[in-house]
Structure 1
Amino acid sequence: MSGYATGPEAGELTFAALPPVRGGAFTRTWWGRAWLKALEDTALDGQQVKEGRRHARAGAVGAVSVRPGRITAVVQDRDGTAYRSDVLVRVLTDEEWDRLLDLAVDSAGHIAALLDHEMPPHLVEDAAGVGVDLLPGIGDLDPECGCEAWDHCPHTAALCHQLARILDEDPFVLLLVRGRGQRAVVDALQERSAARAGGGDAAGGPADAGDGDGGGPRGVSAAEAYALRDILPPLPAVPVPAPGPGEPPSLDTETDPEPGVEPAALEFLAGDTAARAHRLLGELLAGQPVSPGASAAGLTVGEDAVRLAAGRPPSWVAGRLAARTGRSRAGLEAGVRAWRWGGAAALAVLEESWTPGEEALARAAARLAEAWEDGERPELRRSGAHWTAVASGAQLRLGEDGRWWPYRRGADGWEPAGPADRDPAAALTTATAWDAERGD
């Protein structure tokens, strides 16, 4: 069943004529039955109500228009005569709406049920407790019909039965009859929710954050919070990262630092943290994979020292990092070069050795044969996981993940020459090209 909006600001809904109903109960929800109970209690002639039920079952009710305070449809008699029929319902005052909306915001489950097309009994009961009658009672359904009957006639009774079927599917229609449509109600609830979240009520006063007995903030169940996704205020726009990280505060003050505290070192660490946070945020917002070194999570002390040194610290900081991790300055510089090529994985290839098993060696041999299918493969001498090109002085190092890392011979030993590659020929070309640039 669906209705389409008409009228200013969707203040009116029109529902297409429904097909005939064959047997069974006319309405299936408790609120639909409550609507019909109000009709039965209001009508003076029960026979007219029964005749109206038969009209509705037979499909004699045309499209139903619902707007604040009135429902309208054309109903046909058995002889084909058509009558415009209206049923009038009192709309709620603004003050009553305020009470009702405050109740709904106080209990997220009420609105969660409405958004799930259910009428929660507790909402009706709580509303009645503050003097707001959602469902009609005796005398609340006021008939007007073209047949000029002064009481409920078969035509207005048929219209009431048809609306009960509509209410079964969408209880928000009841709120429209009472004065406000779904959009207006949701907007008002959103406004109140935002005011509560900001520390005030919809009128600008402070929100009641207690649980009624001084026990602290009131909680909301996860199910209710999820159900409120359609009425809570929208999330703010994704922030645009600043063009660069912020400057760390200066710690150069007249106050002497505590023993063991080096202000310059703290300034460097603060700057490093800001730079990593800025890079990480930019990559995450752009949907890019996190680059090596963007996060220090899970690094050992030695790995984090190399990561810090890769951030180009002052010379004295680099010297401290080398000394504290048992590296020479040359060793730290080699570690920094490896880190810049591939983070912790590249550093492990530089500083750790592993012995490939038979399966790993077989895969490596197959990759080497594949890389030089033309038969011009250079002479490679293997030692563990290292393959050294005899003629060029370049080296391939096999990582445990099956990638090949290019190395070159430097003044202080083997140095990383580039990023890893699945193709050993490409990795060796990278190492050889570096040697050529140096003039080796």
Structure 2
Amino acid sequence: MSRYWETATYEQPTAAEIRKNAAESKKKEKKKGAALEPVAVQGRTIVHNWWGKAWCENLERYADYESRLDRGKRYVRAGAVLDLKIQKGKIQARVQGTRKVPYKVEIRISPLSEEKCQGIIQKCGSKIENMEELLNGNFPEQMQELFQGKDGLFPAPREISFSCSCPDWALLCKHVAAALYGVGVRLDEQPLLFFELRGIDVGRFIDVTIAGKVEAMLANEGKASSRIIGDEDARGLFGVL
């Protein structure tokens, strides 16, 4: 006798099944003329560089997500993320699942507040010499807290919302988790996409930061520096009578 509250169980597809379905979906989309941007992971390691690792570590720090992240890893490794596009405040993805038709995933990131941006600019002021490294993807260690620390640029769970066309009732399904890991792979390859996602104009960000540093220097113009050695001290230091 069946029960009203009996829960249906679903078998998880194997990595081989996901790859097969993904390959078929890609062929169909190609025939339609769709321009896909798939996420490709080589081997077991999903991310390799600082940007990708930091993004994934940020996700894994939050207990809100831990129950579904492992399945997301399995899916992204199997090539389930057929398409992933990053825009200002938004991530759109097509993720292959059990069904033949890929699921549509949308992830939204809340915009940064003016107050938060201003605070980050002030912190950057004393480290502007590192911005070139930042733009080249060679992330300076001394600026890590600016991104990963409390009130940093990496989004907190309350700043992330998502939806998926799959029938999974979970807030964070495995398809969304795969897309989030896919973002980490993208940032490994193109670090500047992080600024695009957070709605930051990198050129203006640097200009404002430099301007703030120049203003601080001008404000101190005319003030005696503690590093300047007085005449008497100089005579004693160099033995001048």
TM bracket, shorter-chain basis = 0.5 to 0.7
Q: Does 2:184 match 1:164?
A: yes
The CA deviation at 1:23 is 2.1
Q: Does 2:60 match 1:48?
A: no
TM-score relative to the length of structure 1: 0.38
Rg bigger for which structure? 1
- Segments of structure 1 that go 5 or more residues without pairing to the other structure are 1-13, 217-440
The CA deviation at 1:163 is 0.5
Whole-Å separation in 2 of the counterparts to 1:93 and 1:116: 26
* 2:112 counterpart (74, 87, 92): 92
Identity over aligned pairs, percent = 25
Alignment of 1:256-335 (within 5 A): none
String of CA shifts for 1:282-304, please: whole Å, max 9, x gaps.
xxxxxxxxxxxxxxxxxxxxxxx
Alignment of 1:79-228 (within 5 A): 79-126=99-146, 132-137=151-156, 140-147=159-166, 149-180=169-200, 184-193=201-210, 196-197=213-214, 200=215, 206-208=218-220, 214-215=226-227
Judged with a 3 Å threshold, the aligned counterparts in structure 2 of structure 1 residues 41 and 141 are, in CA distance, closer, same or farther, namely farther
The CA deviation at 1:113 is 1.8
Q: Please say if residues 44 and 151 of structure 1, whose CA atoms lie closer than 8 Å, have aligned partners that are also in contact.
A: no
Q: Please say if residues 128 and 210 of structure 2, whose CA atoms lie closer than 8 Å, have aligned partners that are also in contact.
A: no
Q: Please say if residues 83 and 95 of structure 2, whose CA atoms lie closer than 8 Å, have aligned partners that are also in contact.
A: no
Judged with a 3 Å threshold, the aligned counterparts in structure 2 of structure 1 residues 139 and 191 are, in CA distance, closer, same or farther, namely closer
String of CA shifts for 1:47-102, please: whole Å, max 9, x gaps.
63222222211222133222232211111114323211122323211122122223
Q: Does 2:69 match 1:39?
A: no
String of CA shifts for 1:151-202, please: whole Å, max 9, x gaps.
211111110111101111232222222221xxx22133225435755xx36x
> What is the root-mean-square deviation in Å for CA atoms of aligned residues?
3.4
Judged with a 3 Å threshold, the aligned counterparts in structure 2 of structure 1 residues 164 and 15 are, in CA distance, closer, same or farther, namely farther
Which residue in 2 is equivalent to 1:70? 90
The CA deviation at 1:28 is 0.9
Which residue in 2 is equivalent to 1:16? 37
String of CA shifts for 1:2-55, please: whole Å, max 9, x gaps.
xxxxxxxxxxxx982233x34231111244223223333446575632222222
Whole-Å separation in 2 of the counterparts to 1:71 and 1:77: 18
Read off the aligned partner of 1:172 and give its amino acid letter. L
Judged with a 3 Å threshold, the aligned counterparts in structure 2 of structure 1 residues 99 and 59 are, in CA distance, closer, same or farther, namely same
In structure 2, the residue corresponding to 1:102 is in which secondary structure?
helix
- Segments of structure 2 that go 5 or more residues without pairing to the other structure are 1-34, 229-241
Judged with a 3 Å threshold, the aligned counterparts in structure 2 of structure 1 residues 60 and 110 are, in CA distance, closer, same or farther, namely same
Judged with a 3 Å threshold, the aligned counterparts in structure 2 of structure 1 residues 106 and 57 are, in CA distance, closer, same or farther, namely same
Q: Please say if residues 72 and 85 of structure 1, whose CA atoms lie closer than 8 Å, have aligned partners that are also in contact.
A: yes
Whole-Å separation in 1 of the counterparts to 2:44 and 2:102: 27
Whole-Å separation in 1 of the counterparts to 2:68 and 2:124: 37
Whole-Å separation in 1 of the counterparts to 2:227 and 2:53: 40
Read off the aligned partner of 2:103 and give its amino acid letter. Y
Number of equivalences: 193
Which residue in 2 is equivalent to 1:367? none
Whole-Å separation in 2 of the counterparts to 1:35 and 1:88: 15
In structure 2, the residue corresponding to 1:63 is in which secondary structure?
strand
In structure 1, the residue corresponding to 2:86 is in which secondary structure?
strand
Which residue in 2 is equivalent to 1:258? none
Judged with a 3 Å threshold, the aligned counterparts in structure 2 of structure 1 residues 81 and 65 are, in CA distance, closer, same or farther, namely same
Read off the aligned partner of 2:39 and give its amino acid letter. L
TM-score relative to the length of structure 2: 0.65
